[in-house]
Amino acid sequence: MRLSTTRRSRQSGSVLILVTLMLPTLLLPLAGLAIDASICRLVQLRLQAAVDGAVLGAGRELGSPADPQVLAGEFLTANFRTDNSAGTWGANHLSSTITYTPGITKKIDINATAQVPTLFMRIMGFNSATVAANGSATRSDSRVVFIIDRSGSMTNSDGAGSTVITDAKNYTTGLVERFIEGTDELGLVVFDGSAVVGYPTTAWTSAISLASTGGPDKLFWDGTSDDMVHQIAAINADSGTGMAEALSIAYIELQKAHMRDFNTDGVDTRLNSIVLLTDGVPSAVSLYFNNPASSNANNIVNGSSSGNSCSNRTITVAGANSSNMMQGWIALSGPPYGGTTPYGVFLMATKDANAAHTPVWWMNWGGSTSALDYAAPNPTTPYTNCTGMYNAKPGNFNYETKIPTTDVWGNALQTGGVINSHITGGSVTSIYSTAGRWDATGAAQEYNWGLAMWNAVDNAAKSIRTDANLGSRTGDTSGSMNIQIYVIGYTGNGGCDDGLLMRVANDKSAAGYDSTQPTGQYYSASNAAELADAYNKLASDLLRLSR
């Protein structure tokens, strides 16, 4: 049935009347509500951004002399202005509650509100609306040991007008200065063929007890001539890559600081980290040749002959015969390992009894292997009558019949097989290219020593991550130390073994990643720009400022 024209006209009139009645009572308020709500949402987002900036800005200073609550308030008012020119739509009456919670893990909380004047809803009697935002930031006190590779290749160009070692020193210094002096604890280990504790500069000892001295401390940037920043500036690059020893000494340093603080405060909940920067692969290892606790002494031969006339080849008790302990580091020519034998023996920095040989002296040592690495202060005793173990310029390594089971720090050299990793990032090719070549009795082959050095590094890192020395820390009732390892591998100098370094860090992408151990991070860099980026990422991970 069709509707008549008259009826359709009446319906149109009814709709017009209905719309006219709804316009002031429903449609306009709804439109006004949408506009005012949109403005409030924009202001709320602006307020949230200001709160986030305030908690992060104040959070970076947690632990410093600055009052975090005052600092947070200043950041908030600077980021959220209440004048009409500030882009906050006339928001006013900014109010905030700022709470600071001290402790090892410090926290700053902000709850803020502001009034936003309405444009349309005032018709309905609502002259303003309240917007709110909140945020918090935490920062935990840190204990970090930086390990810097000063091997000879670190003097190579970075491709941007400087050298890799200069970049490493500058970037590390910049990162150190972002920690809070007087709150965080920092230390420094520097290594070439052997490692030295660059900071703190106190006389080094490996003793770990409740009465321990040394280890990372809070005075790393106090402006004195031997603070950590000055020590970093003194580093000079030359010689080999004794990575395993550097890791072991860094672990000792962390434990000493842990025991010291635990004894003082009855608790130690600091975040422990090791940062390793290297541009190469392991090419040196420190050994205890006549260790009475192992079969190492039975390996020693009299240099070029098959006799055993070394005066101190065997000793009964290490502690009672400290002057006769044969300890030092040997080196390889570098991968690919095509040479027939390693060379050495060289003096370990931690075994140097000369008080004049300070950390700075050791960090400057090097420059010409013929003049320095092979010369004094390398050990002349207790190697009496041990031809080939030491002379004015040590030649090929020809005084052991087989590769020892451990290095001087107890890291396994041959237990558990070899590391199935691969060298990448440069012209270096894998030393694992020939399957089945590993032979513990092949002490005259660089290849076998290379594999042993790989194992030492891998096992040193595992000991750190599992806190293997916990049972020997008498009086430590705080449980295992949680130690994360961060590694920067500079691949621009011929290549790093990314596979090994990922395992050292226990990076999630590492072969054999173990989720039961602390997870670290591996950063790869092949030039100056990528190295700077790696340090920026490292800073974000290390400072652990979260919101």
Q: Which amino acid is it at 449? A: W
pLDDT recorded at residue 80:
93
CB 331 within 8 A of CB 193: yes
The tally of CA atoms less than 13 A away on the side-chain side of residue 213 is 5
Q: Which of 145, 141, 179, 181 is nearest to 268 (CA)?
A: 141
Q: At what angle do helices 446-465 and 498-505 cross, to 10 degrees?
A: 20
CA angle 167, 173, 178 (to 5 degrees): 130
pLDDT at 346 over 70: yes
What would the mean pLDDT of 42-71 be, rounded to a whole number? 89
Contact yes or no for 134/49 (Cβ under 8 A): no
pLDDT band at 316 (very low <50, low <70, confident <90, very high): confident
The per-residue pLDDT for 542 is 87
d(CA 58, CA 75): 8
| Contacts (Cβ under 8 Å, ≥6 apart) of 526 | 425, 490, 491, 492
pLDDT tens string 434-468: 445 566 667 777 878 888 898 899 999 999 999 99
Q: How confident is the model at residue 423 (pLDDT cuts 50, 70, 90)?
A: low
Q: Which residue has the higher pLDDT, 254 or 159?
A: 254
209-218 as b/e: b if 16+ CB within 10 A = beebebbbbb
In whole angstroms, give the CA distance from residue 260 to residue 457.
Answer: 27
The answer to whether the CB of 373 falls within 8 A of the CB of 328 is no
Three-class DSSP category at 518: coil
pTM of the entire predicted model: 0.82
Residue 508: is its pLDDT beyond 50?
A: yes
Please give the share of the chain, as a percent, with pLDDT higher than 70: 77
Q: How confident is the model at residue 427 (pLDDT cuts 50, 70, 90)?
A: very low
For residue 106, give the H/E element and its range: strand 105-117
pLDDT at 418: 55
Residue 342 clears pLDDT 60, i.e. is over it = yes
Quick one: what percent of the chain has pLDDT higher than 90?
Answer: 47
Please enumerate in sequence order all residues whose Cβ is within 8 A of that of 48, keeping only pairs 6 or more positions apart, or say none.
Answer: 133, 135
pLDDT at 383 over 90: no
φ/ψ of 108, rounded to 5, equals: -125, 130
pLDDT band with cut points at 50, 70 and 90 for residue 372: low
pLDDT average, residue stretch 143-162: 94
Using a 10 angstrom Cβ sphere, with 0-12 exposed, 13-18 middle and 19 or more buried, the burial of residue 318 is middle
pLDDT at site 452? 87
- Checking if the pLDDT of 304 tops 60, the result is no
Instruction: Kindly state the average pLDDT of the residues 107-121.
Output: 90
CB 490 within 8 A of CB 496: yes
Task: Please compute the mean of the pLDDT values over residues 21-25 and round it to a whole number.
Answer: 51
Pick from 18-27, 84-93, 200-209 the range whose average pLDDT is largest: 200-209
DSSP string, 390-426: --SS--B--SBSS--SB-TTS-BSSTT-------BSS
Least confident of 43-52, 128-137, 190-199, 369-378: 369-378
Per-residue pLDDT tens over the stretch 484-501? 999 999 998 877 888 899
Residue 99 has pLDDT above 80, yes or no: yes
**Section 135-146 average pLDDT:** 90
Beta strands in 160-295 (DSSP E): 185-191, 195-199, 271-278, 284-288
Amino acid, single-letter form, for residue 278:
T
Which residues neighbour 493 within 8 Å (Cβ) at sequence distance 6 or greater? 153, 154, 156, 164, 279, 280, 426
**Cβ atoms of residues 96 and 110 within 8 Å:** yes
pLDDT at 126: 82
Give pLDDT, residue 442: 72
> Cα 29 vs. chain centroid, distance in angstroms?
59
**Residue 70, pLDDT score:** 94
On the question of pLDDT at 474 being above 50, the answer is yes
> Which of 250-264, 276-290, 312-326 has maximum average pLDDT?
250-264
Greater confidence, 432 or 146?
146
pLDDT greater at residue 311 or residue 94: 94
Angle 381-386-392 from CA coordinates, rounded to 5°: 65
Q: What is the pLDDT of residue 438?
A: 65
Mean pLDDT of 155-170: 95
pLDDT, mean over the chain? 83
Q: State yes or no: pLDDT of 329 exceeds 50.
A: yes
pLDDT over threshold 50, residue 371 = no
3-class secondary structure, 507: coil
**SS3 of residue 276 by DSSP:** strand
* Cα 139 from Cα 521, distance rounded (Å): 19
- pLDDT > 90? residue 533: yes
Q: Which of 149-163, 210-224, 393-407 has the lowest mean pLDDT?
A: 393-407
Cis before 345 (ω within 30): yes
Amino acid (one-letter) located at 175: L
Q: Where are the domains of the chain?
A: 10-139, 142-543
Q: Does residue 387 carry a pLDDT above 90?
A: no
